[in-house]
Structure 1
């Protein structure tokens, strides 16, 4: 009799657990995964107008990154891909940054770009190329990289594909000198082998985000 009661309690707990899970949304990669019967074409469509130039005058670095990831296009969830259009003003730059969850492949659509990345410790080897219209360059996952438009008169445009639906971006200067709260100037002065007043000056700058 005791054994029967035990199995009855287990069965009731399992049923309650199943009902709770059935009523909660299923998350994959931290995002809601829709029931297939509720999926619509709109989940896979975004009128992003990536053929239109973006404003590059909204920040000091002179670039504008328009990222299409899972947060803007729900249908990307679990598919392991995202896309970005990058506009560069004359002498504009997409400053040194890293994608913690994605490799990036960049294609120049217009203009010229100087692009490069740095390998990991201990070598920290710098690899770079000047890219012209139609050229392609790859930035391996997690490595610090950048693009710079060396032309003082003409803008440039590139399209980047990334191997994650949510690649993330860590802009190095923003993270190190624009953190909230600020990293101790003692720590940064030691790390960069500079005077603390230099660190204080850098931390006082306006570290704008060029991602839109």
Structure 2
């Protein structure tokens, strides 16, 4: 049988598909929010670790937040995100372009918010306790671009003169951020 490549993944031969291809376990386990300075942990379930999602156009994520933890400004170039808060209080928002307009809301347990495809968005735990949210995404492989990392942490680095002018920053600040 010839292999078929669909949405970035090869389809399995139907004769080799098993029930475990449609099963994922582990979203009951809290993520390690102490592992990074942001105080958040994202466990993405996509076609890359759940073969049964191939061609279905969906994925999901568990997002854990320490108190004041942040899922920093980022974008999913291939998917809209629908977030539901399970525990805690989150400040969420996204920015449109032309004009640059911020849409933001404080969410509590049971609240839902949508982040349209490709728009820069964030989630911030404004509570003094841990927070938990789940996101559904309209793509089997939504992609992720974290804005600060992309702009200030690229390899090779973006020419500092470009960043100085674009962000109206001193060269010392750009040098610091690129480190």
Q: What is the TM-score with the length of structure 2 in the denominator?
A: 0.97
Deviation of 1:85 after TM superposition, in Å, equals 0.2
SS in 1 for 2:34: coil
Is it true that 1:31 corresponds to 2:9 in the alignment?
A: yes
CA deviation string 1:98-143 (max 9, x = no partner):
00000000000000000000012x2111000000000000000000
Pick aligned residue for 1:184 from 156, 159, 166: 159
Is it true that 1:143 corresponds to 2:123 in the alignment?
A: no
| Residues in 2 aligned to 1:176 and 1:53: alpha-carbon distance in whole angstroms | 30
Q: Name structure 2 gaps, 5 residues minimum.
A: none
Q: What is the TM-score with the length of structure 1 in the denominator?
A: 0.82
Q: Name structure 1 gaps, 5 residues minimum.
A: 1-21, 205-212
- Alignment correspondent of 2:21: 43
| Residues in 1 aligned to 2:80 and 2:50: alpha-carbon distance in whole angstroms | 19
Is it true that 1:60 corresponds to 2:13 in the alignment?
A: no
| Residues in 1 aligned to 2:28 and 2:102: alpha-carbon distance in whole angstroms | 32
Is it true that 1:127 corresponds to 2:103 in the alignment?
A: yes
CA deviation string 1:126-173 (max 9, x = no partner):
00000000000000000000000012x301000000000000000000
SS in 2 for 1:176: helix
Could you say which structure has the larger radius of gyration? 1
Find runs of 4+ consecutive structure 1 residues off by over 4 angstroms: none
Say which structure is richer in helix.
1
Deviation of 1:26 after TM superposition, in Å, equals 1.5
| Residues in 1 aligned to 2:105 and 2:55: alpha-carbon distance in whole angstroms | 33
Deviation of 1:178 after TM superposition, in Å, equals 0.7
- Alignment correspondent of 2:83: 106
Is it true that 1:196 corresponds to 2:171 in the alignment?
A: yes
SS in 2 for 1:190: helix
| Residues in 1 aligned to 2:77 and 2:32: alpha-carbon distance in whole angstroms | 26
Say which structure is richer in strand.
2
RMSD, matched Cα: 0.9
Is it true that 1:158 corresponds to 2:136 in the alignment?
A: no
Aligned residue pairs, count: 179
